[in-house]
Amino acid sequence: MGSRTIFYPLPKVSRPLTVLQRVDRERQTFAALLVLLHVARETERVKMSSGKKKQDEANLKTLRELTALEHNKKCLECGQRGITYADMTTTGFVCVQCSGYL
């Protein structure tokens, strides 16, 4: 994300500012910068969460495609239909009973 510098014109002042007026202007500028920083962080957070959501959806789609294959509809260990777990050790799908044995 490239950063842009935004310049705001300062109002013309006919006489010098007092110390309190300068402090007040600096506070307003600081508050505006905090708001801009908050908006930038929220935008970045939304982008990251939508990217993670897309990745999760892609992983779920792949998992559904794998479980739809005929040889993956049965437990790898006992052959029972109705698999519920993906075993990362044997890289296969197993039933509830066999998931406790692995």
Q: Are 77 and 101 spatial neighbours (Cβ–Cβ below 8 Å)?
A: yes
pLDDT for residue 10 = 60
pLDDT, averaged across the chain: 77
pLDDT for residue 4 = 66
Summarised one tens digit per residue, pLDDT across range 92-102 is 888 888 887 64
Summarised one tens digit per residue, pLDDT across range 25-45 is 778 777 777 777 778 787 777
Angstrom distances, CA of residue 74 to CA of 38, 62, 87, 99, 101: 51, 18, 13, 13, 16
Q: Which single residue is written with the structure tokens 């007040």?
A: 24
pLDDT for residue 44 = 76
pLDDT for residue 99 = 81
Question: What is the value of pTM for the model shown?
Answer: 0.46
